[in-house]
Amino acid sequence: MLKSCFGTRVEKRAAFESADIYPVISSEFCLGRPVEEIFRAVAEGGAKVVQLREKHLGKKALYELAVRCRMIANEYGILLIIDDHADVAVAANADGVHLGQEDLPIAAARSLSESLWIGNSTHNLEEALRAQREGADCINIGPIYPTQTKEVGYEPLGLEAMKAILPYVNVPFSVMGGIKARHIPELVKAGVRHIAMVTEITQAKDVASKVKSLRALFS
């Protein structure tokens, strides 16, 4: 099985820091197209980190999908992150796992692999600080705007509440939740460098071109 082209968490951090757009791919939001097709398209568009988020696949199917995507990730030299399932991430030689508040604790996930890059979803300052204390390599802050792609059970933070959290964040972070192209300039102005997006990317007619156009908004 293919290993990652990033061996250590130091290498993975450098790769994450080089990213801007952070595509999150769920098969249910790909308009019937194969996940691998969308994965390759976002890679061709210049994405440096991609997350597989499959809420309705069994672990065997998710593992097999992750192994296929590992090949594409290595071809383009990008980070492959698995949502929720640390065991699948380790088994498939993914670069990392992204954990929600109800998933495996960060320390437990770390015990599976010292080199695993661990992200954590946070929705307020308390959760962000706790994730940092517990050793998360990165955090996601959100939802920033109203979103229909995930039932999070949290009200949108809005730009000002998000900005109030950022001074306390000392690990790499991304933001997510209802973000569209029009929001990118104000987020970048607020200090955001990594923006996770789902349907704005995966439901685009030309995914590679969409990623390129979104990345251009960072400058």
Q: Considering only CA atoms, give the Rg of the chain.
A: 16
Looking at residue 219, its pLDDT comes to 85
Tens of pLDDT, residue by residue over 12-30, are 999 999 999 999 999 999 9
**Cα–Cα distance measured from residue 79 to residue 217, given in angstroms and rounded to the nearest whole number:** 22
Look at the block and give the residue holding tokens 């109030």.
Answer: 164
Rounded to an integer, what distance in angstroms lies between the CA atom of residue 51 and that of residue 79? 8
CATH number at residue 115: 3.20.20.70
pLDDT score, position 154 = 82
Query: For 108-154, what is each residue's pLDDT tens digit?
Result: 999 999 999 999 999 999 999 999 999 999 999 999 999 876 555 78
Q: What is the pLDDT of residues 56-67, one digit of tens each?
A: 999 999 999 999
Q: Is there a domain that residue 119 lies in?
A: yes
pLDDT at 151: 56
Using the predicted structure, report yes or no on whether residue 193 has a pLDDT greater than 80.
Answer: yes
Number of domains in the chain: 1
Please list, in sequence order, all residues whose beta carbon lies within 8 angstroms of the beta carbon of residue 191, skipping any fewer than 6 positions away: 163, 166
Tokens representing 141 are: 């802050």
Q: Chain-wide mean pLDDT for the chain?
A: 96
**Does a structural domain hold residue 185?**
yes
Query: In this structure, is residue 1 part of a structural domain?
Result: no
Residue 192 has pLDDT above 70, yes or no: yes
- Would you place residue 169 in the very low, low, confident or very high pLDDT band (cuts 50, 70, 90)? very high
pTM: 0.96
What's the confidence (pLDDT) of residue 149?
A: 64
> Does a structural domain hold residue 28?
yes
pLDDT at 150: 58
**Is 4 part of a structural domain of the chain?**
no
* Nearest residue to 157 (alpha-carbon basis) of 127, 200, 194: 127
Residue range of the domain that includes 98: 9-216
Q: What is the structure's pLDDT at 1? A: 75
Residue type, 189: K
Residue 38 maps to a domain: yes
Residues 6+ apart with CB under 8 A from 171: 131, 132, 136, 137, 138, 139
Q: Assign 3-class secondary structure to 141-157.
A: ECCCCCCCCCCCCCCCC
| Stretch 185-202: mean pLDDT | 97
For residue 210, tell me if it sits in a domain: yes
